[in-house]
Amino acid sequence: MDLLEFQGKEFFASYGIPVSDGAAATDVEEAVAIAERIGYPVVVKAQVHTGGRGKAGGVKLAADGDECRTHASNILGLDIKGHIVEIIWVEKASDIAEEYYVSFTLDRSAKKYLGMLSAEGGVEIEAVAETNPEAIAKIHIDPAEGLDRDTCRQWVEAANLNPDATDGAVDILLKLFTAYVEGDADLAEINPLILKPTGEVHALDAKVSLDANSSYRHPEYAKYDETQPRDERELAAHAKGLQYVGLDGSVGVIANGAGLAMSTVDVVNQVGGSPANFLDIGGGANADVMAGALEVINNDPAVKSIFINIFGGITRGEEVANGIIEALNRVDIDAPIVVRLDGTNAEEGRAILRPALTDSLRMEETMLGAATKAVELAKTEG
């Protein structure tokens, strides 16, 4: 679950991390009323599930009501990287002496938490990692040990922040770590974490992703459901009872079994393509399920080819083959299809498919061969 900035700040504030006073609005007059209550200058900020809002014109300082009105009306409805702004956040403007970066994530290969802290905040951390990687102080934290104050202080010192910021930064980093762990977050990032001219340290932005599987421990997370970005493809697929996850590539993927579906996504990547989705049609690859799956994939305009990867188990090869042919009679498919059929009665299934093969329905013996073909077709069609 990805939180909007204002939700992230509310999450931070509940762990005692200092954030600016503010409120969310969905129209211009509401924004002005908030600004009047807080007092000028304020910052008007687009609330969308993407970064780089500042550069896109989605973060503006307003010195008075007229400016607030202008910025609010310009930002509401703004398209930031394909996200239309429907909510704005109005907060008390801060004076900034320095901008830092801090985040906690999970380093799966190290089996530890990873903390990253940099004196070069305010810009995208990927850019810092590329041009000046030694400016990022990293720390691995054993989940069983946690982060103590001394270790945290050493980490802050290693990052070469302004010494005036040390105490405030240590305090916030410890609280952020608690929020990350106890809040079951996958990501907790503050960019920028600011040092004010008065010496206080403060979170000026919030990027938080919560583990949705932990919501049984956090019933209050239900309030974030409403603002989750919706993938129309996922809604359509879930309505048909399909296990579907939208991705942003061009090869539509259909497989039976979650493991095979994941391997199919991997093999498409391995041969240089990019999957448009993960889709597990489960055990019974019958015509109804296959037709539903093809329909969902066909409605995705990004799909340039379709890779059907079935390993017959209890469902025999000839049932799968008949299911595919029957489904193709029911749904008109725009993209070429490549089928790989293996497992129980694969040969019988292939014999059924063979007479139906054309340029738009192909068959390959192996998973790797089929992936290669599907990727090649996606590239020529795209």
Among Mn ion, ligand GDP, none, the one that 135 touches (CB under a kind-dependent 5 to 8 A) is none
Going residue by residue from 152 to 191, which x/- string records binding to ligand GDP, judged by CB under 6 A? ---------------------------------------x
Residue at token pair 């996606």: 378
Among positions 16, 39, 52, 57, the unique one binding ligand GDP when judged by CB under 6 A: 52
In whole angstroms, what is the distance from residue 174 CA to residue 169 CA? 8
59 is a site residue for ligand GDP (CB under 6 A): yes
Kindly state the smallest distance separating residue 138's Cβ from ligand GDP, in Å. 21
Q: Count interface residues toward ligand GDP (CB under 6 A).
A: 16
Cβ within 8 Å of residue 17, ≥6 positions away: 172, 175, 176, 179, 190, 203
2 is a site residue for ligand GDP (CB under 6 A): no
Stretch near ligand GDP under the rule CB under 6 A, chosen from 46-54, 143-151, 165-173, 267-275:
46-54
| Bridge partners (DSSP) listed for residue 45 | 59, 89
99 is a site residue for Mn ion (CB under 5 A): no
Kindly state the smallest distance separating residue 206's Cβ from Mn ion, in Å. 8
Going residue by residue from 195 to 214, which x/- string records binding to ligand GDP, judged by CB under 6 A? ---------xx---------
Q: Does 189 qualify as catalytic in the annotation?
A: yes
Sheet holding 88-92, edge to edge: 22-25, 88-92, 42-46, 59-62
Task: Give me the torsion for CA of 158, 161, 166, 168, rounded to 10°.
Answer: -130
Q: Is 122 left (phi over 0), alpha (psi -120 to 50) or beta?
A: left
249 is a site residue for ligand GDP (CB under 6 A): no
DSSP 3-state of 239: helix
Q: Count interface residues toward Mn ion (CB under 5 A).
A: 2
In whole angstroms, what is the distance from residue 117 CA to residue 115 CA? 7
Kindly state the smallest distance separating residue 73's Cβ from ligand GDP, in Å. 19
Question: What tokens appear for 47 in the block?
Answer: 């609330």
Residue nearest to Mn ion (CB): 205
191 is a site residue for Mn ion (CB under 5 A): yes
For the chain, the maximum distance between any two Cα atoms, rounded to a whole number of angstroms, is 78
What separation in angstroms does the CA of 297 have from each of 189, 275, 323, 367?
Answer: 34, 11, 16, 19
Stretch near ligand GDP under the rule CB under 6 A, chosen from 29-37, 94-102, 129-137, 337-345:
94-102
From the candidates 98, 120, 189, 318, give the one annotated as an active-site residue: 189
Q: Does 130 qualify as catalytic in the annotation?
A: no
Strands 22-25 and 42-46: unpaired
Site residues for ligand GDP per CB under 6 A: 43, 45, 51-54, 59, 93-94, 96, 99, 122, 191-192, 204-205
**Residues forming the site for Mn ion (CB under 5 A):** 191, 205
Catalytic residues: 101, 189
